[in-house]
Amino acid sequence: MSRIFETPLYPYARAPDQDAAEPVRRPVVVVGAGPVGLAAAIDLVQHGVPVVILDENDKVSWGSRAICFAKRPLEILDRLGCGDPMVDKGVVWNRGKVFFRDRQVYAFDLLPESGHKRPAFINLQQYHFEKFLVDRVRALQAEGRPIELRGGSKVVVIRRQDDGVQLTVDTPDGPYRLDCDWLIACDGAGSPIRTMLGLDFVGRIFEDNFLIADVVMEDSADFPVERRFWFDPPFNPGQSALLHKQPDHVWRIDLQLGWDIDKREEAKPEKVIPRLKAFLGEDAKFEIEWISIYTFQCRRMPKFRHGRVIFAGDAAHQVSPFGARGANSGLQDTDNLAWKLALVLSGRAPDSLLDSYDAERIHGADENILNSTRSTDFITPKSEVSRLFRDAVLDLSEHFPAFRPMVNSGRLSVPCTYDGSPLNGPDHPAMPARTRPGAPAVDAPTPGGWLIDRLGGGFQLLTLDADAPDRLDADGIPVTRLALSTAGDDGLLAERWLGAARSAVYLIRPDQHVAARWERYDEGEVLAAVAKATGRA
């Protein structure tokens, strides 16, 4: 087993807070040092907010767990300063194939257009992902940024108050009290914070069981770098299978097992190895790195914000792994939350701005749950009629492309557009639908580099062939301008951002979502849109 699982990355060390005469109060405490908690803390400290991260563990996650990271989260990671090592280490892929029984029915490309910095997906084991985030935390600490990562620190008591949260933190040296203005719970699907507050999920639990096996084997032309999904394959009849390549010659294999199984028995190597040999070939040489049997859920909390306690990632919502929506949606949670909380803490936005986190990310969670539920129902039909329908769709999709959108082997993660958000401002109908208010920024090459890299992490005016001031003060919130021209452009910038309009002025939020857009600059309208996007109007 890789030593990365066993090496403490943030071992327990006594913090000065433990020796203080009175409980210390921190602006923000993040509970959970998984991908979502680490990303939240990094984002906050880059906005100037001091953060303490608590985790009862001191190591990266055991097993590969989340492995598929989509284009939009990679763009978020670029803004957090750790996208390059993720992509450099990860296995880059855009293509996938769907099989029915013993034949391929079709292939697809998740990013068929050019002009994007990042690929549709990378595959990267969660333990590597967490290690790169911890490295980024250490780099920020070396710069003198106020971010602490405390291992061996388990929250055992939580008390909510109107103006903050009181925590009791257990450590190898005994418990101590730590207070904070805000608590972000990123402590996973079994969230102890959620349990201590008496909160729960609503939604649906599925009864099918799946085997995850990560195996180490040499690369082979028989296993190219692409997502492969099988319905009713000969090596797992009546069930499904999924294959992904990961770094370091590790392959992820998902095999559907059915309903009525003994999970403990099925996880034994003597039961797993024959299944893998049926898939990979009797002569295949491999080593098992990780085994897990799982069922899955499509559920969420009715609300993500509970006063001064805010939930993110798996602590707030759960989806099936088909479609890679778990960690990807968690990173979009923190991307949505951090800038809002920073504005509230600085006094430049009202507390009510955080209600828009609920509105926008519950919208995102519901979108993910809908897609995951549909995927699960297609992959695991619950009646003979449903199975006959699914098999007919698969047969027809081989020859008739019109049926392929009906095939659902896991609608792969796409970024959420916040249609109907209370923060959205004016729209212009002549501009492209993909960059409407609420939508995440769409990348394109520009003379100064990739557009997504030039947007930064504050409020910006993106102008195309339009005049505007280079800087605007919106009641204490700076708005800077990124001026672009479509003259001499290869057409991608105009196609993605201008459409049928002659010029464009976009207000971009700190999370790189569009807040409003106009054909020409008007100071009063821009100031009003900033006020709306910050919950002040």
DSSP output for 177-196: EEEEEEEEE---TT-HHHHH
Strands 240-246 and 297-300, by their bridges, are unpaired
Taking residue 285's Cβ as centre, other Cβ atoms within 10 Å add up to 10
- The partner residues of 516 in beta bridges, in order of sequence, read 507
Which pLDDT value is given to residue 411?
67
Nearest alpha-carbon partner for 515 in 439, 457, 442: 439
**pLDDT tens per residue, the chain (537 residues)?**
446 777 899 999 999 999 999 999 999 999 999 999 999 999 999 999 999 999 999 988 877 688 899 999 999 999 999 999 999 999 998 889 999 999 999 999 988 899 999 999 999 999 999 999 999 999 999 999 999 999 999 999 999 999 999 999 999 999 999 999 999 999 999 999 999 999 999 988 877 889 999 999 987 777 788 899 999 999 999 999 999 999 999 999 999 998 889 999 999 999 999 999 999 999 999 999 999 998 878 899 999 999 999 999 999 999 877 656 778 999 999 999 999 999 999 999 999 999 999 999 999 999 988 888 888 889 888 899 999 999 999 999 999 999 998 998 866 767 899 999 999 999 999 999 999 999 999 999 999 999 999 998 999 999 999 999 999 999 999 999 999 999 877 899 999 999 999 999 999 999 999 999 999 999 999 999 999 999 999
> What DSSP designation does 498 have?
I
pTM: 0.95
Contact present, 112 and 79 (Cβ < 8 Å): no
Contacts of 58 (CB under 8 A, 6+ apart): 8, 9, 10, 11, 12, 151, 152
Given a contact cutoff of 8 angstroms between Cβ atoms, the answer to whether 198 and 46 are in contact is: no
Instruction: Find out whether 321 and 208 touch, Cβ atoms under 8 Å.
Output: no
Q: How far apart are CA 69 and CA 43, in angstroms?
A: 18
Q: Residue 1's pLDDT is what?
A: 43
Cβ atoms within 10 A of the Cβ of 202, count? 8
Q: Identify whether the C-beta of residue 199 lies closer than 8 Å to the C-beta of residue 68.
A: no
Residue indicated by tokens 């009713």: 232
Pairing of strands 471-474, 477-484: antiparallel
Note the pLDDT of residue 473: 97
The pLDDT of residue 324: 66
Six-digit token string for 179 = 């207070």
Asked whether the beta carbons of 197 and 309 are under 8 A apart, the reply is yes
